[in-house]
Structure 1
Amino acid sequence: MRKALVLGASGGIGSALVNELVSRGTEVTAVARGKEKLEKLFGDKNNVSVVQGDALIEGDVLKAVQGMDVIFHAVGFPYQVWKETHPPCIDIMIKAARKYEAKIVMADNVYAYGKQYGQPVSESAKKEPHTKKGKMRLQMENALKESGVPVLIAHLPDVYGPNAESTMLHETLKNAVVNKPANFVGDITKAREFLYTKDAAKAMVELALRDDTYNQNWNIPAAHPITGKEILEILREETGYEKPVRAVSKSMIRLLGLFNPFMRELVEMMYLTEEPVVLSGDKYENIVGPLPRTPYREGLKETISWLKEKEAETAAV
C-alpha cells in the first residue's frame, strides 16, 4: 500500500489511522470538512496531504481517491442524521473505489451484531440487529460486500483516545480533567470494552496491508472488559480527581432526550451498557498475530494529557 485516503481524518479513529499509516511509510491524503483542524493535526508531517472535503459530496471524494490504493472510511455522523448521511456516503465511496480500482477498509462498530449473550462474539455470529442503527450498519455492510470492491470491515467496540470526542467515555473524561462533576453513561459496575484508538488503527492498518484479509469481517477487541468503577479509580490515581461521578441510566437518557436530539437517539443503544457485546479476537490472532493491547492506564494517561493540552489551548484564546 503506497498511497491511502482517510475519510474522516480529523476524528479519533481517522487521525489515529493517518498517524499509523505514516509510521509505516504510506503516503496519506487526509480528508475532513475542517481544514484548520487537519493542518493542526498533520501540517508538520511530510507524508500527509491535507484536503478539505465532504464525504457526502461526490466530486470531493472522486477527486481525492485518484491514485489511491486503499480508502479508509472513518467518517462519523451525529446519530440524529444517520439516515440521511451514512447510506449516501457509502454509495459515493463505492462509486469512487470502482472508478479508481481502490480497496475499502471501514471502521465499523458492534451495532450490527444486535444482542449477543454469553461468550465473546466471533465474526461468524449471526447478525440480527434489533435497533434502527444496528439495521442501518448491517445495510451498509451488505452494500459494501455486494459492491464487487475488495472490502475489509473492522468491528470495534466503544473507543477512547486523542480526538475521540463523540464517544461515551469522553462524556466522563472531559469533565474529569477540569475537576468538575462528571457523568458516566451506563452501569458503573458493568464490565464493558473500551478500545484505545491507536490500537484500533494499528490492527486495521495491519489487516489492510495484507492480501488475504479482504472481503471479510474482523473483530478488534479492547485489552479486556473494564468497569466504570475501575476506570474512575485510574482517573483519580492519575489526576487527583475527587469530584462525584453520576451513572447515567437509560431512564435519565430518555428524560434528557426531551431536550437533546443526541440523547434522544442514544436511548436505543443503551442496551450495550446493560448487556455489553464483547468481541472475540481469536480470528485476528490466529491468522495475523497478537492484537495491539494498550493497558487502560497507559491509554487513559495519554488521552488525559491530550485533553489537558486542548483545555489549555482553549483557555489561552
Structure 2
Amino acid sequence: MKKALVAGASGGMGYALVCELVSRGIDVVAFSRGKEKLERLYKGQSNVIIFSGDALNQDDLMEAADGVDVIFHSVSFPYQEWVEKHLKCIDIMLEVAKIKGAKMAFVDNIYAYGRQINQLVTEDAKKEPHTKKGKLRLQMENRLKESGVPTLIVHMPDLYGPNAENTILHETLKNAVLNKKANFVGSTKAAREFLFTKDGAIAMVELALRQGAYNQNWNIPSTHPITGDELMAIIQEITGYEKKVRTVSKSMIRFLGIFSPFMKEMVEMMYLTENPVLLSGEKYQKEINLWPSTSYRQGIQETISWMKEN
C-alpha cells in the first residue's frame, strides 16, 4: 500500500488510522466534511493530503480516491440518520472502489452479532441481530461481501482515545477532566470492552497490508474486559476526580429519548451495557504476529492529555 484514503478522518478512529498509516510511510488522503477540523488535526503533517468533501457525494469521493490502493471506511452518522445514510454511503464507496480498482477496509462495531451470551464471540458466530441498528450493520456487511470488491471487515468494541469524542467513554472523561459530575452509561459492575483507538488502528492497518486478510471478517478485542468501577478508579487516580459518578440507566435513557432523537435511538443498544458482547481475538492472534496491548491506564492517560491540549 502506497496511498490510502481515510473517509471519516475527523473522527476518533479515522484520526488514529491516519496517524498509523503515516507512521508507516504511507501517503494518506484525510477525507471528511469539516475542513476546519481537518486542518486543525493534520495541517503541516507530512504525507497527509486534506480533502474536505461529502461521503454521500460520489464525485467528491472519486476525486479524493485518485491513485489510492485502499479506502478505509470510518464514516459515522448520528443514530437517527443511520437508515437514511449508511447504506447509501456504503454503495457509493463501493462504486468508487470498483472504478478506482481499490480495496476497502471497513471499521465495524459489534451490533451485527446481536445477543451473544456467556462466550467469547468468534468471527464464525451466527449473526442474528435483534435491533434495528444491528440489522442495518449486517446489511452493510452483506453488501460489502457481495460487491466483488476486496474488503476486510473489522469488528471493534466501544472505542476511546484521542479525538474520539462521539463515544460513550468520552462522555465520562470530559466531565471528570473538568471536575464536573461525571456520567457512566450502563452498569458500573458489568465487565465490558473498551478498545484504545490507536490499538485498533495498528491492528487494522496491519490487516490492510496483507493480501490474504481481505474478504474476511476480523475481531479486534480490547486487552481485557473492565468494569465501570475499575475504569473510574483509573480516571480518579489520573485526574484527582472525587465526585460521585452518576450511572445512566436504560430507563433514564428512555426518558431522555422523549426530548432527544439521539437518546431515543440509543435505548435499544443498552442491552450491550447489561449483557456485553465480548470478542475473541484468537483468529487475529493466530494469523498476525503483532498484538496491540495498550493498558487502560496508559490509554486513558493519553486520551486525557490530548483532551487537555485540544
TM-score normalised by length of structure 2: 0.99
Equivalent position of 2:150 in the other structure: 150
Equivalent position of 1:7 in the other structure: 7
Equivalent position of 1:84 in the other structure: 84
Equivalent position of 1:189 in the other structure: 189
Question: Distance in 1 between the 2:174 and 2:187 partners?
Answer: 19
Tell me if 1:279 matches 2:279.
yes
Tell me which amino acid in the other structure corresponds to 2:188.
Answer: I
Equivalent position of 2:176 in the other structure: 176
The 3-state SS of whatever aligns with 2:278 is coil
1:96 Cα offset (Å): 0.2
Equivalent position of 2:301 in the other structure: 301
Equivalent position of 1:59 in the other structure: 59
Equivalent position of 1:100 in the other structure: 100
Alignment length (residue pairs): 310
Equivalent position of 1:258 in the other structure: 258
1:308 Cα offset (Å): 1.4
Equivalent position of 1:200 in the other structure: 200
Moved more, 152-161 or 59-68: 59-68
Q: CA RMSD in A?
A: 0.6
Question: Distance in 2 between the 1:63 and 1:239 partners?
Answer: 44
Structure 1: gaps (5+ residues): 311-317
Question: Are the equivalent residues in 2 in contact too, given 1:160–1:169 (CA < 8 A)?
Answer: yes
Question: Distance in 2 between the 1:289 and 1:46 partners?
Answer: 29
Q: Describe how 1:105-144 pairs up with structure 2 within 5 A.
A: 105-144=105-144
Question: Distance in 2 between the 1:256 and 1:295 partners?
Answer: 34
The 3-state SS of whatever aligns with 2:6 is strand
Question: Distance in 2 between the 1:44 and 1:125 partners?
Answer: 44
1:182 Cα offset (Å): 1.1
Question: Are the equivalent residues in 2 in contact too, given 1:281–1:291 (CA < 8 A)?
Answer: no
Question: Are the equivalent residues in 2 in contact too, given 1:162–1:307 (CA < 8 A)?
Answer: yes
Tell me which amino acid in the other structure corresponds to 1:87.
Answer: L
Structure 2: gaps (5+ residues): none
Tell me if 1:268 matches 2:253.
no
1:290 Cα offset (Å): 3.5
Tell me which amino acid in the other structure corresponds to 1:7.
Answer: A
- How much identity, in percent, do the aligned residues show? 65
Question: Distance in 1 between the 2:251 and 2:17 partners?
Answer: 36
User: Where does structure 1 differ by over 4 angstroms across 4 or more consecutive aligned residues?
Assistant: none
Moved more, 39-48 or 197-206: 39-48
Question: Distance in 2 between the 1:38 and 1:124 partners?
Answer: 37
Tell me which amino acid in the other structure corresponds to 1:254.
Answer: R
Equivalent position of 1:27 in the other structure: 27
Question: Distance in 2 between the 1:191 and 1:70 partners?
Answer: 35
Deviations 1:54-76 (A, max 9, x none): 10111101111121100000001
Deviations 1:51-101 (A, max 9, x none): 001101111011111211000000010000000110000000000000010
Question: Distance in 1 between the 2:291 and 2:75 partners?
Answer: 24
Question: Distance in 2 between the 1:238 and 1:58 partners?
Answer: 45
